[in-house]
């Protein structure tokens, strides 16, 4: 059992994978995760460096980031227990408690999680855990809503079907799972933002030969694509669920899924 900061109790042992984990030094839980973008975020783009990426965002990018949060907040209920996948330094997680009773953020970067805990404070209604989004240490139907914003579905660099399926597993029947990607028309603003991050020394230079058609590639190994509405529909069909697709602020594409009823 795990006691969250607001006194909520969640059974973490219901999933047998819980027993294969090692406790990290901050008291969270971490799986042995695969190399790739996990290593990039944990080693190069985490903690204060990640925070600085958002601090230098242009007004148009700031509008996009806020629009994503407001879209998610509009789909929460006051009694919701919410999980955010890839929470970073807690930028979104803490905002979720503007509506929800409690939010849990998971990430694989220790520096980001430490910053999130410090920023949220001891009395917040948030908890931050080190965890692999493909192998969540929660029992089935634990959360009312699971959220993965700002193109995490592509940026994580993992199997998308497994990622969404695992999110659905830990969501109660009838609960909501929300994933977002970039809208095609937002491409110029997205590229300019990454160029600004590269110029600030936060990321490698843009690889112009391999960047385009919705894909950002940097010379230091960063790579992130985009999910189109059609690709979200195909992914949902593979999982046997019906998606709602929303174009938000001409900058985001949201895929909203209802967790299926237990059979």
What are the pLDDT digits (tens) for 234-250? 999 999 999 999 999 99
Measured CA to CA, the distance from residue 17 to residue 133 in angstroms comes to 13
Query: 36 CB contacts (<8 Å, ≥6 apart)?
Result: 157
Q: What's the pLDDT score for residue 262?
A: 73
Angle between helix axes 110-120 and 47-55 (nearest 10 degrees) is: 70
State the pTM of this model: 0.86
Helix extents (H) in the chain: 37-43, 47-55, 59-73, 93-96, 110-120, 152-155, 160-169, 187-199, 229-239
First-last CA distance in the chain: 26
Is the pLDDT confidence value at 224 over 50? yes
**Are 143 and 41 spatial neighbours (Cβ–Cβ below 8 Å)?**
no
DSSP, residue by residue, 58-96? -HHHHHHHHHHHHHHHTT--TT-EEEEES-TTSTTHHHH
Measured CA to CA, the distance from residue 23 to residue 42 in angstroms comes to 17
What are the pLDDT digits (tens) for 119-141? 998 878 999 999 999 999 999 99
Domains, the chain, in order of start with CATH, read 2-258 (3.40.50.150)
Is the pLDDT confidence value at 18 over 50? no
Q: Is 114 strand, coil or helix?
A: helix
Q: What's the pLDDT score for residue 124?
A: 86
Q: What's the pLDDT score for residue 6?
A: 44
What are the pLDDT digits (tens) for 166-212? 999 999 999 999 999 999 999 999 999 999 999 999 999 999 999 99
Q: What's the pLDDT score for residue 263?
A: 62
More confident residue, 115 or 11: 115
Measured CA to CA, the distance from residue 226 to residue 71 in angstroms comes to 19
Measured CA to CA, the distance from residue 56 to residue 158 in angstroms comes to 27
* Segment 37-49 mean pLDDT: 73
């Amino acid at each position: 059992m795990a006691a969250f900061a607001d006194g909520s109790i969640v059974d973490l042992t219901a999933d047998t994978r819980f027993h294969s984990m090692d406790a990290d030094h901050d008291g969270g839980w971490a799986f042995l995760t695969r190399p790739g973008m996990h290593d990039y975020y944990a080693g190069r783009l985490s903690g204060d460096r990640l925070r600085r990426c958002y601090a230098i965002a242009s007004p148009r990018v700031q509008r996009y980031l806020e629009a994503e949060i407001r879209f998610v907040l509009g789909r929460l209920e006051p009694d919701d227990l919410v999980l955010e996948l890839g929470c970073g330094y807690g930028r979104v997680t803490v905002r979720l408690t503007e509506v929800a009773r409690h939010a849990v953020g998971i990430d694989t970067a220790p520096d980001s999680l430490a910053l999130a805990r410090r920023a949220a404070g001891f009395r917040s209604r948030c908890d931050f855990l080190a965890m692999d989004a493909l192998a969540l240490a929660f029992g089935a139907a634990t959360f009312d809503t699971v959220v993965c914003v700002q193109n995490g579905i592509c940026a994580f660099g993992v199997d998308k079907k497994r990622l969404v399926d695992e999110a659905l597993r830990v969501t109660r029947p009838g609960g909501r799972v929300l994933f977002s990607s970039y809208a095609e028309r937002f491409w110029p603003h997205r590229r300019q933002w990454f160029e600004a991050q590269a110029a600030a020394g936060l990321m490698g230079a843009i690889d112009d030969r391999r960047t385009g058609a919705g894909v950002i590639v940097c010379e230091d190994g960063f790579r992130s694509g985009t999910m189109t509405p059609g690709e979200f529909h195909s992914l949902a069909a593979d999982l046997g669920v019906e998606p709602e697709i929303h174009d938000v602020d001409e900058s985001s594409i949201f895929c909203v899924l209802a967790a299926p009823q237990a059979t």
